[in-house]
């Protein structure tokens, strides 16, 4: 009987630990995703460099050589994206107008909040693009 209690206790303890770990991991990933845009696109550039460095085992010299290439590619993608931003906003505004009548007033407010967060991300992206373009204008072009 004592062995049964011991095993039951161990199983309950293991299950509680696994559940706590799973919930903690989900909460961490949700918070990390939400925080990801707090630093905007500069953080995205950093994540790309960290991933390349890690997965390709880049030396410090390789990182220094690769960073300008990654930055230029990142900037080109942003410029392309913003070249079509007006069209994107037009499409989204039409979709929002079509969605709203199908939603409750509370859902409409939540949708407006989602759109406002998206607009803030776009603004941070624009600011990052402008700041980086200014900074890069002072650097010699490296090809």
Residue 54 lies in a domain: no
pTM of the model: 0.52
Residue 49 lies in a domain: no
Residue 130 lies in a domain: yes
Residue 132 lies in a domain: yes
Residue 105 lies in a domain: yes
Residue 71: other Cβ atoms inside 10 A: 17
Domain of residue 115, residue span: 66-137
Q: Is 36 within 8 Å of 43 (Cβ atoms)?
A: yes
> Which residue pairs, CB below 8 angstroms and at least 24 apart, start in 115-120?
118/92
Residue 72 lies in a domain: yes
Q: How many residues does the chain have?
A: 143
Residue 74 lies in a domain: yes
Residue 13: other Cβ atoms inside 10 A: 10
Instruction: Evaluate if residue 15 carries a pLDDT over 60.
Output: yes
User: How much is the pLDDT for 143?
Assistant: 44
| Percent of the chain with pLDDT strictly greater than 90 | 21
Domain count, the chain: 1
Half-sphere exposure of 76 (CA within 13 A, CB side): 6
**Using one digit for the tens of pLDDT, what is the confidence trace for 22-81?**
777 777 666 665 555 555 666 777 888 899 999 999 899 999 999 889 888 888 888 887
Instruction: Evaluate if residue 8 carries a pLDDT over 50.
Output: yes
Structure tokens at 6: 């011991």
């Amino acid at each position: 009987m004592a062995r049964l209690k011991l095993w039951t206790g161990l199983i309950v303890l293991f299950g509680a630990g696994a559940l706590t770990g799973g919930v903690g991991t989900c909460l961490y990933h949700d918070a990390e995703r939400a925080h990801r845009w707090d630093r905007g696109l500069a953080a995205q550039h950093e994540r790309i460099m960290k991933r390349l460095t890690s997965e390709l085992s880049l030396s410090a010299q390789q990182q220094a050589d690769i960073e300008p290439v990654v930055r230029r590619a990142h900037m080109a993608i942003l410029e392309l994206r913003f070249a079509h931003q007006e069209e994107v906003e037009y499409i989204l505004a039409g979709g929002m107008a079509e969605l709203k009548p199908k939603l409750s007033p509370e859902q409409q407010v939540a949708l407006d909040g989602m759109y406002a967060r998206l607009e803030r991300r776009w603004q941070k992206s624009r600011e990052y693009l402008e700041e980086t373009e200014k900074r890069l204008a002072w650097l010699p072009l490296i090809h």
